[in-house]
Amino acid sequence: MRNVIRLFLAVSLSVYFVSCNSPKPPLTVTIVKRYNPVAIDTVKNMVKIGDKDKVWVRMDELIVLKPDDYSKEDVLNAFKNAFISIPKLSGIKIKKYCNECEDKVILLEGNDLQNYLVRMAPGGGDACPNTSNCNSSQQEITQNAIPQDSIRVTTRIDYKPTIDFPKSANQITLAILDTGIDPLDNYFVGRTNKFFTDLQGIVKGIDVTNDNVSIEDMAGVNMNGYPTDGIHHGTKVIKIILSQLPSNSNVKILPIKITNSCPGNLYDALCGLYTAQKYGADIINASWNYQANDDIYRLTRKVFRFLEGKNVTIVAAAGNDSLNLDTNKLYPACFKDSCSNIYSVTSVQKKIGGFVVVENYSDKFVDLGVSTYSNDVFKVPKTNNTPITSDDYELCYGTSFATAYITGYLCREGLVHSPKNEVIGKIIFKNIPVSGIPDKVYIPE
């Protein structure tokens, strides 16, 4: 638990909003302080703010974790009234909201809104700036790169299904929160039984990235359609996981698109997390990360503790910058010390006498290392051919793919809901203790 000293304004601005027809207590939004930006990037529309931990956040946006028993309209009106004395913030609007998670997370928009620290009561609500995710967990393709003009987009504009992801007895639902999926990839031929599909046998998933939201009528985010993958990051993650599963596996994969590219943004990631839980996810692959100041840390820890309470396992990438996470924290990987449901994964390379860490490391925050195929790269399958030759896979580096191997391992061995200490004990290769390298290393089959 962090010991954070908060400096409160001498005069707090508090507002109240209550429905005339509701007995619930008034929703209170209190402005605690205003951060002074230390840097601004007008090209990327980002600003750097914070107290001790200063991070880049998106201008004019604020993520709100909606208090229990209140509507998004309650939240919007409370914020409008809270900032009524600040003229340039009189036009606060709802930019996006997550209707698939009952509006639990909302994205507000207003001039310089990211600079304000607020508190909400009652009901456990919270707010923080919107930051970027993915950061450095995005891969760099070392061979067989996909030409930009050959990327396939598989849209079906006539397809407007009722979202339905039925869960049978003993089924494990695996949510992949990433860039979506290319359902026409050759590797998925004969494997669509591992996915939820429509009547035509096309892979179904959820896309939470739609920005075309009417702010005036609050039409909501369109969660229907195919979560297509323009950069194939999510597709590669899914292929690695599938390569670890037997043909009779009880795992069903649910692709949830939280970004079109890297970086994405934290709001869409949180919306994806809540949506995954709503549709019965037992395990979530999170091959992405984000930085956090105190406010982002506080709000997002609530989300991951909520998932912990729902018995949802998270496999998280440690990141790719060769950083010590003890002093350069990235989340959700660094929540593993406070949430028992999170596995933090990095990449390691086999050397004479042991392993060396390839990417981000930490004795405290990293649980597992995954041994690379060669040097610092992993094999990503391209075809179903046997025996496998060098033409049947491509080489990619990054903890995104190390994470996918651990997710596949947990699903294959039926360990998704097993206590974490028991699971780590089953990974049989004991590493020679070296500072910054995980005690357990998984060697992919």
Nearest to 339 by CA among 367, 307, 291, 366: 307
Tokens of 15: 């507002």
Confidence bin at 217 (pLDDT 50/70/90): very low
Residue 439: pLDDT over 90 = no
The secondary structure of 141-182, three-state, reads ECCCCCCHHHCCCCCCCCCCCCCCCCCCCCCEEEEEEECCCC
Residue 51: pLDDT over 90 = no
Residue 193: pLDDT over 90 = no
Residue 73: pLDDT over 90 = yes
Check residue 432 and give its pLDDT: 60
Per residue in 224-246, pLDDT tens?
445 677 788 999 999 999 999 99
Taking the model in full, what pTM does it have?
0.85
Between CA 243 and CA 346 the distance in angstroms is 19
Greater pLDDT, 224 or 77: 77
Nearest to 366 by CA among 404, 396, 323: 323
Check residue 156 and give its pLDDT: 26
Tokens of 135: 């950061």
Per residue in 324-334, pLDDT tens?
999 999 999 99
Give strand pairing partners of 251. Answer: 172
Nearest to 402 by CA among 438, 363, 364, 351: 438
Check residue 382 and give its pLDDT: 77
Residues in the chain: 445
Tokens of 229: 């993958």
Per residue in 130-180, pLDDT tens?
998 664 443 333 232 222 222 222 222 222 334 568 787 889 999 999 998
Which parts of 285-336 fold into alpha helices (H)?
294-309
DSSP E strands in 237-330: the ranges are: 251-257, 283-286, 313-317
Check residue 226 and give its pLDDT: 54
Confidence bin at 5 (pLDDT 50/70/90): very low
Is there a contact between 274 and 64 (Cβ–Cβ < 8 Å)? no
Per residue in 374-427, pLDDT tens?
878 888 887 666 656 666 777 888 899 999 999 999 999 999 999 988 888 777
Between CA 46 and CA 58 the distance in angstroms is 5
Tokens of 142: 């070392």
Confidence bin at 343 (pLDDT 50/70/90): very high
